[in-house]
A = this chain, B = another copy of it.
Amino acid sequence: MSDGPTITTIAQRAGVSIASVSRVLNGLPTKAETERRVMSAARELGYVPNSVARSLKSRRSNQLGFAMADIGNPVYLAMIREIQPVLRAAGYRLVLHSTNADTDDEIDVLRGLGERYIDGLIMIPLRVTGEHLKMFAAARAPVVVIGSVPEGTPVDNVRTDSREGVRLAVEHLHGLGRRRIGFVNGPLDTVPGAARAAAYAEAVRALGLPHDPALAEVGDFYRADGARATARLLERAPDVDALLCANDLIALGALDVLRREGRRVPQDVAVAGMDDTDLATLAWPPLTSVSLGSPERGRAAAELLLDRLASRDREPRVVTVEPRLVVRASTAGDDAPGEPPAVDASTVDTPARDVSARDGSAVGETVGDSGREAP
């Protein structure tokens, strides 16, 4: 319960100076006898170096931050799963920031870089404002942004081509003979929302389908919002035969509504999501989804950040992850283990894929034999 031992404590106990203690602890050349005495004193005292003091001296916190809108979103989770081990292997701890997609919160996190409690940051802003750009430029530590930023922004950047992703999905649905392809989007003032809206319009036009505003609906990137938006869309355009959803959560909401209304998926309405999260394989029917390479983006971001920390003064880099279409039963239409239709530039996922390979559950709980609580 005492106030943890310091190198001073050790020095006294070993009868040497604190400098010697520090040297031994850092593996610098020392006389064997000194080393022995220091080490045994340290062991006896249960010495653990104070990382705060060390950080103050070294100007490195050995911590890196990850800031996203909401930990609950499986997309971010997929990224964290990749990011964490990479950073950890490099000796960094991970500090989590949930910003609620709030711009002020994000700016605060960026300003927080000045506090020096993290050596760098991976951030996923849903909206990129002028203030963001100002903070990126003034950032006091390396920042890697996942998502698109304007050319010339002085940050490393990992992006995906969601326009191409939308095109893959729309063409897939079109290739299945669908002609009334609806789009359920998230907020248009977000980067992905705006990009996907534009991409949808473009893809539809490229296929020569008539432009019908009734086919596009906006909600938010959550399941319940997706359900509501889908309901509105169905009311306005009852003849839709396909739905592209701007992410998997929205698609789940769409499935909820379609089931409730008795429309068969995919026979009556084919449904596709985006992000290809674990949810896609869990949904029923399994959800066709555009993979935007979330794990890859997470890993790439982590590696960019580590590279940047190793050499500060190189040009900002941009890594682009190609989208892939992963076809499942929600559009393929065939439950039998036969071959789903071949799709250009796409990948076909096996239903047996273990989406939760790394998930170990079994959270602690009351021990069996002593399950009784003390009264």
Contact = CB atoms under 8 A, between A and B. Distances in A.
Most chain B beta-carbon contacts within 10 A, residue among A49, A51, A52 = A52
A360 B69 contact: yes
Nearest to A113: B48
A132 to B, nearest CB: 11
Contact of A95 (B76, B95, B111, B198): B95
Interface in A35-81: 46-53, 55-56, 61, 63, 68-77, 79-81
Interface in A356-375: 356-371, 373-375
Interface in A220-264: 220-224, 227, 246-250, 252, 256
Contacts of A95: 63, 93-96
A116 interface: yes
B352 A256 contact: yes
Interface of A: 4, 46-53, 55-56, 61, 63, 68-77, 79-81, 84-85, 88, 93-98, 100-101, 111-112, 114-117, 124-126, 128, 138, 140, 145-148, 150-151, 159-163, 186-187, 190-199, 220-224, 227, 246-250, 252, 256, 275, 279, 282-285, 292, 294, 297, 318, 320, 351-352, 354-371, 373-375
Given A46-B114, A224-B352, 18 more contacts: A48-B111, A73-B359, A84-B96, A93-B95, A95-B95, A146-B364, A147-B365, A148-B364, A148-B365, A148-B366, A151-B374, A159-B366, A192-B362, A195-B368, A198-B368, A221-B361, A246-B361, A250-B361
